[in-house]
Every structure is written in C-alpha cells, then in structure tokens.
Homo-oligomer: A and B are copies of this chain.
C-alpha cells in the first residue's frame, strides 16, 4: 500500500464545508463573515502520550479529542482539521481502526478533515484544528486565559484524576480492580472534549483553559495571564474523581485504596483530564448553572480568584495546605 493509497483508502472524503478539501497543494477554508478562526495544534508521540499497544480506535479518538478540547477552552465551534501522520508501516487493520475512531468523533462535532501529510517514521500524530469564534460589534467572543478578575468564581467541569489513576495502574504503580481500571482507562484513552460547555460559556466565563498538564499547572497559566491569584478548595475536587468513594461516578463495589494525600495529588496534578477550568463573576452563577445544564456537563465550583497573587490551597476546614504539586513538563 503506497502513501497515496493510505490517504485515498482511509482518510479522503468529499469536502463538505471547506471550499477545497484533501487532494491539492492546499486546502481552502472560507470563514464566515464576522468570525475569527481559532487554531490549535497538538502532537502525540508514541511512548510519551500513548502506549505502543494502545487500541488504534481509541488513539484516533484521543488525537482529535485533545485538539477539540483546545477549541472548547476558547469557546470555538469546530469546523475542520488537518492530520499529519508518521507511521512505522502502512498496516491496514491499524489504519482502518484509527480512521474509524478519528472520524466518529469528527462527525459527532461536524468537524471535517481537509488535508494533511503522511510519511514513514516513528509513530507520531499531529492534528491542527480550526474552529469559529463570532465577533460581536467587532469584539471577539473567544474565551482567553487572560480574562480572570479578582472576585471571580473558579470552576472545573466533569471528572478529574481518573486518567492519571489509569496511567499509574497500567505502569504497575497502583493496584485497582478490573472494573475501576476499565472506567479510568476509558477516561485516559477516550477523553470527552467539552465543546458544548465551551460554546455555552461564551459571554459568561471570564477566562478558560483546558486541563492537559494537571489542574495546578494549568490554573497557573490563567493566574499568570490574568495577573491574579486564587484560593482553591482542594477537598471540593475529590468528589470530581470518578473512582473516589462517594463521588457521583463511583460504584459502591469499586473501592480504591489511596491515602487522602494521594487522592488530592490525582485531582491536582493528574494530567490528561481534558476538562475545562474556567472563571466567571459571582453575578453569573445562574448563567453558569444553565450552561452546565444545557451542555449536559457537570460543573463544580472549586475556588475564588483574588487580587492577591499566588495560589492558596485550602482544605475542608479552610486551613492552608502545602503545595508540592508539579505540573507535567515534557522536558523536566
């Protein structure tokens, strides 16, 4: 199977929205008048972002999901994506499953593949995604990291820490039951990009980011960009962990034997969560609740933004906790 066969068999589909799709030197995209194009790019490398034996259907899903998650964090509506793929070989069943996982998620978000590149090389998946953000009277509705203000509420969506729990279990650092591993692994390998929530939060959230490196690290980007500080109610995060006893997601039989400190670490520095972390003025609490409801996405109020710089971690009694948590860094 040659390079052009790979593209034709597994990836080429007729252009729907794009003026020109796969098959020329460039794709042509024509953003609607009065909109901005949001662009984001994520590269996934075997051994760093996924195991060599990962299910290719899940990998196709995740490669696009992590990119859609960036659009969600900007409040951008997915339009299209390009895919660059380095493959050790052209394995037909692997490619078919990868393309199926990729296109199932793409179709669910009406996001079309418009071009890319295919080459031989160590497995590497680089997707660049394009989304639409409206301009209202010349003002962009994009959610940025820089808009948090003192007094704003701090929220996080969905569940936290399960991806890291699965990673630790798969690496043999932790022993969990098969059913916990299955549920946690689903979160690691098939994250849900919070696109509907991001769209619903336009004009409500003051700042937003998606969680890829861990809550503490990603929150620090909001604080730095917005030049503010925050206090975080750490124990409000624990019920956000899917397998935490007493969380809305845990089943009674799924007990995981972790210390409180280990649970906190999962929530604060887990990474690979792909949830939205965002801020909104306290006057918009009803609007945030409505956005959560309309997008069918759980949202948790976990802290406050303050003018006082730095991050303060508070326990259930409001006492200050130490902050030894490191964010994930590819070169650290």
Contacts and interface: CB of A to CB of B under 8 A. Distances in A.
A119 B2 contact: no
Nearest to A131: B26
A2 to B, nearest CB: 5
8 contacts: A3-B329, A4-B329, A5-B331, A24-B145, A25-B71, A25-B145, A26-B142, A43-B86
A41 B115 contact: yes
A154 to B, nearest CB: 17
Interface in A127-163: 128, 130-131, 133, 135, 140, 142, 144-146
Interface string A41-72: 11101111100000000000000000000110
Report which residue of A5, A38, A49 has the largest number of chain B beta carbons within 10 angstroms of its beta carbon. A38
Contacts of A42: 84, 117
Q: How many copies of the shown chain assemble into the complex?
A: 2
B142 A49 contact: no
A29 B76 CA distance: 12
A48 B87 CA distance: 12
Contacts of A3: 329-332
A116 B331 contact: no
A70 B330 contact: no
A116 B43 CA distance: 9
Contacts of A25: 40, 70-71, 73-74, 145, 208-210
A259 interface: no
Contacts of A4: 329
Interface in A216-263: 225
Report which residue of A118, A124, A209 has the largest number of chain B beta carbons within 10 angstroms of its beta carbon. A124
Contacts of A6: 331
Given A124-B86, A331-B90, A39 B27 contact: yes
A1 interface: yes
A175 interface: no
Report which residue of A86, A87, A142 has the largest number of chain B beta carbons within 10 angstroms of its beta carbon. A86
Given A124-B86, A331-B2, A26 B47 contact: no
A45 B131 CA distance: 28
Contact of A124 (B43, B87, B115): B43
